[in-house]
Amino acid sequence: MSSQLTHGAVEAMHKGQQIRTPLVQVIDVKKILGPNGQATSPERYRLVISDGIHFQQAMLATQLNELVNDGKLQPKCIVRLNEYICNTVHGRRFGGPSPSLAEGTMPIKGLNPYQNRWTIKARITHKSDMRPFNNARGQSFLFSVDLLDAFGGEIRCTFFGEAATQWNDQIEAGQVFLIGRGSVKYANKRFSTLKNDYEISLDKNALIQPTEDDPSIPFYKFNFVDIADLGGHAKDETIDILGAVLESGAIQDIRTQAGNELQKRVVKVGDSSNAQVEVTLWGEQAAQWSGDRGLVVLFKGVKISDYNQRSLTVLRTSKLEFEPRIPEADRVREWFETAGQGEVASMSRNDFKGRGGGGEGGFGGGDKRPWDETRKSFAAVKQVAFGGQESVYFSVRATVTEIKHSRDHPPWYEACPTEKCNKKVTSVGGAYHCTKCGATHDHYKPRYVLSLNANDHSGSSWLTCFNDTASDVLNGTTADDLLEMLSRPQGESQYEDVFQKALFKSYNLRVRATQSEYEGENKVKLSVVKVIPMDYAKESKFLINSIAKYITA
């Protein structure tokens, strides 16, 4: 890609030379904020552009803002500059070319898989332990580091094979290196929470050169989110938070779906936004937790969950540090010593005290879901406000009017028979292979994915029932029962009767609404998580009270 760029254009423009329609790459796009932290009016955008040799900052003319808003102008894109002006600001050319690039290095934000020759100068901000892995040539080793450069770019870098064994004992967090001749590829987000679409792989041919410390490269980069603002962030997004420990739950021993023993701990953390949230730690991080009440703790790269309304999960790639030496920590300490001793709003709906170690559990008397117990109609559900969350929960009284089913397309999928696995299996030569637990079985277990239509006074909606709730709707008939019916000579009529007998029954349903985007439009999917048979005495009282409220309103 770099061969397409107009090499030398940045330096020439900086010197006042006219370059006709140069081709450059956009490295970064940032909205400029005013002194109050709000966007300027009109909005202004600062760009970083590169010609493959040098890069410089630039301001985007406001009449071109729509290119950013429409997503046409974004990092990594290639643009042709038809018109431009190089201004002098405070006695110097605005956006002069960086001297570091003149030395042959480039910013991390400029890396992409299509470049063959590149060198970056970056600080090691985190280093993992070296661990073995197996490939076609046998066992080898790897370890990973997180890199940060002077321009705020971060990227995960993994050392493989000889590079790993050679450099493992020589690299420490905090050191500055020149790194090049590596492979840039799309990042595996399972192993990295950095805000970068790419990652680097290094082997024995890589350039790895220690260099003098560079004070222009920071030792860390955090994008802290106030706990009170978690509702405005999407589920599964990874964020950084800085808070004070308010409470530490007891360590719990649980068994995973794969049958492994794992330790878990839930803690509460609050910050100066006067809000608190539950944070779940796993494995060694749970066992080694030593956070006494009032200690300032930094979490980098924790995942947002919508369980219990809003909570956070510490990942294997997350970083945790007590009493960090950063200015923001002083503000948290001051908050804890004053307002933190009083009432603190919780982003997590329920307290974790007494919660079992088995996860979310059922929905009986110990229901911990963030239910909106105000009954909603289907018409109201279609207008529900998600408030930044991907999921909301509610109750609805409805009558089942249609259930999708056929012999050719039964309402279940072929699941792994291993207890608690439930992963869909792949049919291979009459056997069934599970990619999750790695086992191959001679049979599968059918698990419901039942689609039904239900009506109330306002209209109808399609809902999905999974294994337990589908069985409740079908009067206790399991997917195994239906599969066995279809195997009998006269079983198809019995199979059909099961669905007919389930129609036109009314229930109080507890429903999870999930919002997603499809072809630019927001879609809401409804899943039934609890089927409650109708108690007509209670329902009558509910209707009488509703009528009374309507009359007096």
**pLDDT 10s digits, 347-400:** 665 444 433 333 333 333 334 444 445 678 888 877 765 655 556 788 899 999
Q: For residue 20, what are the contacts with CB-CB under 8 A and spacing of at least 6? A: none
What's the DSSP call for residue 337?
A: H
Residue 46, beta-bridge partner list: 30, 59
Residue type, 145: V
* pLDDT value of residue 503: 95
Domains and CATH numbers, the chain: 9-80 (2.40.50), 108-210 (2.40.50.140), 227-346 (2.40.50.140), 378-414+444-540 (2.40.50.140)
> Per the confidence metrics, is the pTM higher than 0.95?
no
Pick left, alpha or beta for residue 173 (phi over 0 → left; psi -120 to 50 → alpha; otherwise beta): beta
285, 252 contact by CB (below 8 A): no
Pick from 347, 355, 356, 316: nearest CA to 246:
347
CB distance 199 to 156 below 8 Å: yes
- Residues 265/280, Cβ–Cβ less than 8 Å: yes
Contact 458, 447 (CB under 8 A): no
Residue holding tokens 């898989």? 113
Extract the tokens encoding 372.
Answer: 């909106």
With a CB cutoff of 8 Å and minimum separation 6, the contacts of 72 are none
CB of 173 closer than 8 Å to CB of 125: yes
Distance of CA 367 to the CA centre of its chain: 25
> Dihedrals φ, ψ of 394, to 5°?
-160, 170
Cis bond upstream, residue 533 (ω within 30): no
Maximum Cα–Cα distance across the chain: 92
List pLDDT tens digits, range 19-74: 888 998 888 888 887 655 566 778 888 888 888 777 778 888 888 888 988 888 88
Residues 210 and 306: their CA atoms lie apart, in Å, by 43
The helix (H) or strand (E) run that includes residue 102 is helix 99-102
Rounded distance between C-alpha atoms, residue 230 and residue 302, angstroms: 12
CA distance 51 to 333: 46
- Residue 314 near residue 282 (C-beta atoms within 8 A): yes
Measured between alpha carbons, how far is 262 from 324 in angstroms, rounded to an integer? 28
Q: b/e string for 237-257 if b means 16 or more Cβ within 10 A? A: ebbbbbbbbbbbbeeeeeeee
> With the CA atoms of 215, 221, 226 and 229 taken in that order, what torsion angle do they form, in degrees rounded to the nearest 10?
140
CA separation, residue 119 to residues 148, 156, 161, 207, 242 (Å): 13, 15, 21, 8, 33
> What are the per-10-residue average pLDDT scores of the chain (553 residues)?
73 80 87 68 84 80 88 87 73 46 72 86 91 87 93 92 91 91 87 86 91 86 88 84 92 73 89 89 89 90 77 87 86 83 64 37 37 71 63 86 90 88 85 85 92 92 92 94 90 92 93 65 80 87 83 75
For residue range 237-277, what is the model confidence (pLDDT) as tens digits? Answer: 889 999 999 999 888 887 765 667 788 899 999 998 888 89
Q: Provide the 3-class DSSP secondary structure of residue 162.
A: helix
Residues forming beta bridges with residue 375, ordered by sequence position = 395
Tell me what pLDDT residue 352 has.
41
State whether residue 3 is helix, strand or coil. Answer: helix
